[in-house]
Amino acid sequence: MKEVKTKNAPAAIGPYSQAVVCGNMLFTSGQIPINPETGEIPEGVEPQARQALTNVKNLIEAAGGSMDKVVKTCVFIKDMNDFAKINEIYAEFFSEPYPARSCVEVARLPKDVLLEVETITEL
């Protein structure tokens, strides 16, 4: 297993890696919508979705991968009523054939953000 680190995604805020490579697969830790340059969290679900997915994209690219090689995503959202808005932003980052995906509503996320995204990517 090899750790992946980049300054273009938020640093880990606990005892975990931003991402790891195992064989030819990349596993990202859940990415919340923290701007890695400022440490700020944008207001609203659309800007938060865009930032979280940008963080995922930056981690994948730091490992030498690309978004078109993502095979599975997990999206954790605070309010299922935001599902349609999140889907609109999600579609900006992925194209057909889309990765498999799970999406679940959760009670609470780190820093009280509105969503968190993790991925599994073939390198």
Strand (E) or helix (H) holding 119: strand 115-122
Map out the domains of the chain with their CATH numbers.
2-122 (3.30.1330.40)
Q: Please give the model's pTM, rounded to 2 decimal places.
A: 0.97
Looking at the annotation, which residues are catalytic? 103
- Helix, strand or coil, per DSSP, at residue 82: helix
Q: Look-up: residue for tokens 């978004």?
A: 67
Residues 63 and 21: their CA atoms lie apart, in Å, by 8
The Cα angle at residue 10 between residues 99 and 64, in degrees rounded to 5:
50
Q: What is the pLDDT along the chain (123 residues), one digit of tens a residue?
A: 999 999 999 999 899 999 999 999 999 999 999 999 999 999 999 999 999 999 999 999 999 999 999 999 999 999 999 999 999 999 999 999 999 999 999 999 999 999 999 999 999
* First-last CA distance in the chain: 14
